[in-house]
Structure 1
Amino acid sequence: MEEPEVPTEGRKPPDANDRAGDGDYLASFEESLPQTLDMERWANGLELEAIMRAFREQIGGSMRKEDKLRATIRQELLPLLKTRSQASKGAGVYHATEAQLKAVHEGHLFRGNVEAVYGSAVSHGTQALGITQLGIAAVGYGGSSGTFSQRLFRKDVTLQMDVPFKQAHEHIDRREPHSCQVLWSKDGLPRQAKRGIRTYAERAILVERLQAEWRMGLGNPLAYELITGFGYRGLMDASLEMLGNLIERHQKFVFVTDKLEHRGFLSLGHSLNTGEYAILETLEAYGEEILDGWHYDNEGLQKARAFVERYCPQVVMGLYRASNNSPPQLFYAHQEHVHFAVRVAMADSILLPEQGFPMLLDVAAMTCQSVFGEDGFQELVKDAQAEQPATPKEARRA
């Protein structure tokens, strides 16, 4: 996906005669890489006064640069959102009013008409047995901002592990390539499969098991691992059918990312004022990138292409900012409901003004980690192991 250009005033391009990357490092950090690596230039101990003085200077300079960059983006780049070639229908910058957000609070959020899901996967493995616990928490409000309704879903996947012996044998015979694409986790379940199943489960619970009018999820609804299946045809087929139902039948959804690392989107997002949101583009280009980059077989490619061409144009992505004290958030919604969808996300996010992230997703994450977290799961495993009868050898030791 093409990253929007940002002004590069004050930065010099790296010299072609410099070592690879060193010139760019100098331009970015205003000192050379050898200077950074020179231990003689590092301070001894904590000189608090000097640290705070440098900190104030850096923060002040950064804020001045950000204000200038922000003004430039608002004046020159945000107006172009409507006319750029990838722009979706209705692309541009909008403002959600206090009255609109209050209406979402009273009419939808606190009435329980919005539910959010969050999933986790934890594992335990030995040479003989691998267990993965998949947990999903679904959370909605129970009448006010301080009360919640919760539903929990759990699935255990157990694998009898003959694979390690097979892999060791193949390694000795040198039949296994050094760069194997399948990464095995400690429970014996391929890491990609675990990630794909968890991502699928989050969306499938949201589509098939929840009753609220509006559904909220984490990340891109059309996740890469679902459109590709990570090489598992069963996962891809089930995912495309389920996501088709989400987009075509349900439509009233909003997904929000928990990390925004795209530098172009960050710059655009930070230029927004409190209560503003920008509609950017559909997921057509994103879908085409997946089709071009993943090695499908012929049948898989036909199915994935049909899905991308039919459904990616119906999903749009955008940015919103719930507070000037919080970072911008990237969201995804159906083309026909995008304005109300982002108000749902924003209305929930202003309840966490310092984070600017939907409270329902935050509570769902905490619930999931509390109920299905690593510590609790490992305690269950230890309890189960303690209840097993001792082997003759262990009995003699006792």
Structure 2
Amino acid sequence: MARGVTAGQGRFIGDDDYRSGFDEDLETTLDLDTWSIGLDIEKLIDGIHAQVSSSATAEEAIQATVRTGILRNLKEHTKLDVAGVYPASEKRLRTVFEALLFPGRVEAVTSIVASHDSLPLGITQLGVAVVGYGGTSGTFSQRLFRKKLATGDEDPVRSAMECMSERHERSGMGRRDNLSMLARRGLRDYAERAILLDKAQAEWRVGQGNPCTRELLSGSGYPRLLKASLKMLRKLIGEHKKFVFVPHAMEERGYLTLGHALLAGEYAIIRTLESDSAYFVERWSYPSEEIRSEVLDFVRNYCRDILIGLFRSSANAPPCLFFAHREYVHVAAHIVMADSLIHPRRGFPMLLDVADSSCRGVFGTDTFQGLVQDAYTRAGGKYQYLNERHGRQRER
């Protein structure tokens, strides 16, 4: 897929970009005299209906072209011997149901992050659940407490000033709180995959997202996490191999275009994960070229064995992306398609939804916030430190 420059990467949006995207000039949009006064229901319905109808018709024409001109020639386009469109075998789907899914030989892992961030204390809770159709295999959690106290220093004023400066740096305009990002994304991605590898018991393991996320390939800016991530991924990809990952949402619209051109009950194998991962690694700011070379070596030796595919389980469901090992990609496709048939309108593996529900039931935000508020009560009701803005957001 083409990799263009996106907003926030040093380029302003030009007049041509705006006109192309919205079919009108920015000056027209800014002119308040062109805005409707109040809510004209009939005009609104007619306008949306006309736009949806024309867009859907145009999209169907694009899908027909993609199907005949691209999907049928994937092997030639990608130079990948296994690339192509395949019909899911009904016999194989039945076998997957009877021999793998329902006997519990497939387990899914998902996670949830709950956090509390107040002036004196920040808490991040990571919760992970391993679930198969035979029941929950295990739940795992970790809590990180982040605090900075201005006590115990010979110069308490200097200590307080340092504390204020550090907090300002952490929350200033346009700044990223790197430690919070590390906890919420990097550690979460690592924990999901490490637990999938070391704690799950089933023959097949199902995860969500990309197995080699950017957070893992960068260590979220933390070299020690990067080293642990590469070690874990080498074992998952190089030794276990029987895994399949499915993202909850497909953000890459190029893949989405290909996916919608599939018929119900079809899956396509598109490319390897190597080029996308290498593209990221070559542009990330690593502490040294030696570290970058180590990550690139991992990408070239392991990401080339991860294939990217698309499947569409039913006519009423959107397509889904999946990642699987080259040696087991066809079995992996049948596993996620069979599991998606349980809920044909959603078209997403039910086992991942079950794992998500189990995780939220044990480690949900409401339970976590209740424990935090109880702790503040026991500490003397110091509710002034609770974030009122977050409270209003939750009420909505």
The TM-score normalised by the length of structure 1 is 0.83
Tell me, yes or no, if structure 1 residue 325 matches structure 2 residue 316. Answer: yes
Structure 1 30/238 Cα, relative in aligned 2: closer, same or farther at 3 Å? Answer: same
Equivalent position amino acid for 1:361 in 2: L
Whole-angstrom CA distance in 1 between matches of 2:349 and 2:167: 48
Determine if contact 1:119/1:365 at 8 Å carries over to the other structure: yes
CA deviation vs aligned residue, 1:221-253 (integer Å, no higher than 9, x gap): 011111110221111111111111111111000
Structure 1 51/157 Cα, relative in aligned 2: closer, same or farther at 3 Å? Answer: same
Q: Which residue of 2 aligns with 1:310?
A: 301
> Shift of residue 115 of structure 1?
0.9
Tell me, yes or no, if structure 1 residue 113 matches structure 2 residue 109. Answer: no
Tell me, yes or no, if structure 1 residue 337 matches structure 2 residue 323. Answer: no
Determine if contact 2:124/2:183 at 8 Å carries over to the other structure: no
Q: 3-state SS of the aligned residue for 1:83? A: helix
Alignment of 1:55-134 (within 5 A): 55-84=48-77, 86-134=78-126
Q: Which residue of 1 aligns with 2:32?
A: 39
Identity percentage of aligned residues? 44
> Shift of residue 120 of structure 1?
1.6
Alignment of 1:1-398 (within 5 A): 2=2, 21-84=14-77, 86-142=78-134, 148-149=135-136, 151-162=138-149, 166=162, 168-169=164-165, 183=177, 189-296=179-286, 297-388=288-379
Structure 1 24/130 Cα, relative in aligned 2: closer, same or farther at 3 Å? Answer: closer
Whole-angstrom CA distance in 1 between matches of 2:167 and 2:324: 47
Determine if contact 1:3/1:264 at 8 Å carries over to the other structure: no
Determine if contact 1:87/1:280 at 8 Å carries over to the other structure: no
Higher helix proportion (structure 1 or 2): 2
Equivalent position amino acid for 1:48 in 2: I
CA deviation vs aligned residue, 1:115-150 (integer Å, no higher than 9, x gap): 1111122222333332211100222113xxxxx435
Equivalent position amino acid for 1:370 in 2: G
CA deviation vs aligned residue, 1:21-50 (integer Å, no higher than 9, x gap): 333333333333333343333334443333
Structure 1 191/27 Cα, relative in aligned 2: closer, same or farther at 3 Å? Answer: closer
Whole-angstrom CA distance in 1 between matches of 2:212 and 2:381: 48
Whole-angstrom CA distance in 1 between matches of 2:147 and 2:237: 37
Whole-angstrom CA distance in 1 between matches of 2:278 and 2:355: 32
Determine if contact 2:137/2:200 at 8 Å carries over to the other structure: no
Q: Which moved more, 1:199-208 or 1:122-131?
A: 122-131
Whole-angstrom CA distance in 2 between matches of 1:182 and 1:64: 43
Structure 1 89/168 Cα, relative in aligned 2: closer, same or farther at 3 Å? Answer: farther
Q: 3-state SS of the aligned residue for 1:154? A: strand
Alignment gaps of 5+ in structure 2: 5-11, 151-159, 383-396
Determine if contact 1:316/1:332 at 8 Å carries over to the other structure: yes
Q: 3-state SS of the aligned residue for 1:89? A: coil
Whole-angstrom CA distance in 1 between matches of 2:325 and 2:203: 14
Determine if contact 2:93/2:338 at 8 Å carries over to the other structure: yes
Alignment gaps of 5+ in structure 1: 5-18, 143-147, 392-398
Determine if contact 2:87/2:265 at 8 Å carries over to the other structure: yes
CA deviation vs aligned residue, 1:54-89 (integer Å, no higher than 9, x gap): 3332232222212211111111111231012x4433
Whole-angstrom CA distance in 1 between matches of 2:337 and 2:121: 45
CA deviation vs aligned residue, 1:359-394 (integer Å, no higher than 9, x gap): 111222222233222221110011223234689xxx
Whole-angstrom CA distance in 2 between matches of 1:210 and 1:74: 38
Whole-angstrom CA distance in 2 between matches of 1:46 and 1:127: 43
Whole-angstrom CA distance in 2 between matches of 1:229 and 1:251: 22
Whole-angstrom CA distance in 2 between matches of 1:36 and 1:389: 53
Q: Which moved more, 1:245-254 or 1:58-67?
A: 58-67
Whole-angstrom CA distance in 2 between matches of 1:96 and 1:357: 15
Structure 1 181/246 Cα, relative in aligned 2: closer, same or farther at 3 Å? Answer: farther
Following TM superposition, where does structure 1 have runs of at least 4 consecutive aligned residues deviating by more than 6 angstroms?
Answer: 178-181
Determine if contact 1:333/1:341 at 8 Å carries over to the other structure: yes
Whole-angstrom CA distance in 2 between matches of 1:295 and 1:27: 34
Q: Which residue of 1 aligns with 2:7?
A: none
Equivalent position amino acid for 1:192 in 2: L
The TM-score normalised by the length of structure 2 is 0.84
Whole-angstrom CA distance in 2 between matches of 1:69 and 1:217: 32
Q: Which moved more, 1:24-33 or 1:322-331?
A: 24-33
Whole-angstrom CA distance in 2 between matches of 1:221 and 1:157: 24
Determine if contact 1:87/1:282 at 8 Å carries over to the other structure: no
Q: Which moved more, 1:21-30 or 1:160-169?
A: 160-169
